[in-house]
Amino acid sequence: MSPAFSTTVGALRLREWRLGPGQPTFVLDQFNEQDFNLVVDDRADVHVNSKDGRFYLGWFPLGRPGTSGEGWKIAVTGTAKEPGYHISFDTETPADIVAAAVARVLETSRRV
């Protein structure tokens, strides 16, 4: 008996995977001026926050300072009763993957 399993290339169902950072506009175009502030700093990093200050998105094309290749940061501040959360993606994460995460976060928000 062989300790490994055997297969064929055909059985592996090879796939092509999206790679590379893609277009950041897929992410940034989801925000409107009415509900969000956008700032581009002197490093060309982009920061988006909600008018109430509880949502933050940072895009760091060259990597977030002080991190190891963090390219995107999403953070939602919690309340007195519920903790907040944050999500990070590296600089090579495809923008449409980040856009999907941002879209879902925005879908779960509501005006009060």
pLDDT at 80: 95
What are 27-38's pLDDT values in tens digits? 999 999 999 999
Give pLDDT, residue 8: 75
- Residue 54: closest CA among 37, 68, 39: 37
Cross-strand pairs, 58: 47, 73
Q: How many residues does the chain have?
A: 112
Instruction: Report the C-alpha gap between 29 and 27 in whole angstroms.
Output: 6
Look at residue 77 and tell me whether its pLDDT is greater than 90: yes
Read off the pLDDT of each residue in 36-41 and give the average, rounded to a whole number: 97
Residues of the chain with pLDDT > 70, as a percent, come to 94
**pLDDT band per the 50, 70, 90 thresholds, residue 62:** very high
The radius of gyration of the chain from alpha carbons, rounded to an integer in Å, stands at 19
